[in-house]
Amino acid sequence: MRVAVIGLGAMGLPMAQRLAEEFSVSAHDVNPDAMGRATESGIDTAATAAVAAARAEIAVLIVRDAAQLDMALFGSAGAAETLPRGSVVVITSTVGEGPLLDAQARLQLQGVHCVDAALSGGPIRARSGDLLVMVGGPIEARNRAQPVLDALASTLCIVGEAVGQGQQLKTVNQLLCGIHTAAAAEALALAHSMGLDLDLVLETLSAGAAASFMFADRGPRIAEQLRGQSPGLRSRLDVISKDMGIVGATARRSKVFTPVAAAAEQLYRAGEVAGRGAEDDSVIVKLLADQSGRGVGRVGGK
């Protein structure tokens, strides 16, 4: 099976590496550095999304937001220019239900199927095919994409027959992830302000009722931030901010009151205003405590 992978960022590259173990993969990213990392890792790269998709049976898109999705598919030298009739576009990006439905309608005009396959799990799990994948789409399209979905997922949830339903469940997932990350930052900022050993806090609380995936995953990087260190970039702040924006917009349309999610969204937006959008999202702890962790600091922790 020939698979095009469009988007080689934090999630896209390990997903491409995973898929290349089983399929013939051609990959593209607009970022030359990302293309270089893919080539160094043994992935065949293409100069444009259109070239990558030219003979693909399945095209997997892993881009940041709705604007990038539109560009990757329908922009100049976008994948839609060359996708064969009967091929399937698997959209894994968290962009909300509306952009998925728009993309599906445009792809249908040229005989291309669409599957909504929202992801959760992070880069390490992406590399090993251990992701949670939440799928919405017609059964024919899902069946064609099944080998790719099986290669990426350890847990495959079929949400429904409609494109967009995977995004709906991912929105609920991101509400929890966004809240849990913000809560982890608050908890560790408080612990640090009292002089507690952060390694001890992480180890102890991870063994009890306060444990969560986000606490275990983000906690060590939040602790590094509190110690004045700079953890490696794994999850950009502007991405979780975008996701929580989708949560807020969905809640407003649904007329559901989500005050805790709204507070978390404002914290991420404050981080973007402070110029930290491209940093790891653990940096939000610096909005809660100064660099020594001994009190509430100004935005940016300066």
Region of 45 (left: φ > 0; alpha: ψ -120 to 50; beta: rest) is beta
Same domain, 128 and 44: yes
Q: Does residue 294 sit within a domain?
A: no
Structure tokens at 211: 């444990």
Residue with tokens 């999705």: 69
Of 162, 190, 212, the domain-final residue = 162
d(CA 208, CA 72): 44
295 inside domain = no
pLDDT above 90 covers a percentage of the chain that reads 92
Q: Are residues 150 and 207 in the same domain?
A: no
Least confident of 100-104, 131-135, 230-234, 257-261: 230-234
Using the predicted structure, report yes or no on whether residue 223 has a pLDDT greater than 50. yes
Please check whether residue 31 is in contact with residue 50, taking contact to mean a CB–CB distance below 8 angstroms: no
Q: 162, 188, 208: which is the final residue of a domain?
A: 162
In a domain, 251, yes or no: yes
Q: How far apart are CA 209 and CA 206, in angstroms?
A: 8
pLDDT value at 300 more than 90? no
Confidence of residue 158 (pLDDT cuts 50, 70, 90): very high
pLDDT in tens, 228-240: 999 988 889 999 9
Is 302 inside a domain boundary? no
**Residue 291: pLDDT over 60:** no
On whether both 10 and 153 belong to a single domain, the answer is yes
Q: What is the structure's pLDDT at 122?
A: 87
Please check whether residues 181 and 150 belong to one and the same domain.
Answer: no
Q: How far apart are the first and last CA of the chain?
A: 52
Torsion of the alpha carbons at 226, 228, 231 and 236, rounded to the nearest 10: 70
Domain with 42, as residue range(s), is 2-162
Q: Give the domain-ending residue among 118, 140, 162.
A: 162
> What is the mean predicted confidence (pLDDT) over 122-147?
95
Closest CA to 5 of 71, 67, 36, 51: 51
The single residue listed with the structure tokens 């199927």 is 113
Asked whether the predicted pLDDT for residue 299 surpasses 60, the reply is: no
pLDDT at 301: 34
| CB contact at 8 A, 137 and 161 | yes
Provide the pLDDT for residue 290.
60
Domain match, 210 and 137 both: no
> Is the domain of 30 the same as that of 144?
yes
Q: What is the mean pLDDT of the chain?
A: 93
- pLDDT score of 289: 82
Dump the DSSP string for 23-60.
SEEEEE-S-HHHHHHHHHTT-EE-SSHHHHHTT-SEEE
Q: Three-state SS for 114?
A: strand
pLDDT per position as a tens digit, 176-209 = 999 999 999 999 999 999 999 999 999 999 999 9
pLDDT band at 296 (very low <50, low <70, confident <90, very high): very low
Residue 297 has pLDDT above 80, yes or no: no
User: How many CB atoms sit inside 10 A of residue 280's CB?
Assistant: 20
| pLDDT for residue 263 | 97
CATH number at residue 255: 1.10.1040.10
Distance, in Å, from the CA atom of 256 to the CA atom of 17, rounded to the nearest integer, reads 40
Question: What pLDDT does residue 173 have?
Answer: 94
For residue 236, give the DSSP letter. B
Structural domains in the chain (count): 2
Query: Over pLDDT 70: what percentage of the chain?
Result: 96
Phi, psi of 115 (to 5 degrees): -130, 130
Catalytic residues: 170
**C-beta of residue 13 within 8 angstroms of C-beta of residue 44:** no
Residues 123-141: what's their mean pLDDT? 95
Number of alpha carbons in the 13 Å side-chain half-sphere of residue 182: 22
Residue 145 included in any domain: yes
Whether residue 30 has pLDDT greater than 90: yes
pLDDT band at 282 (very low <50, low <70, confident <90, very high): very high
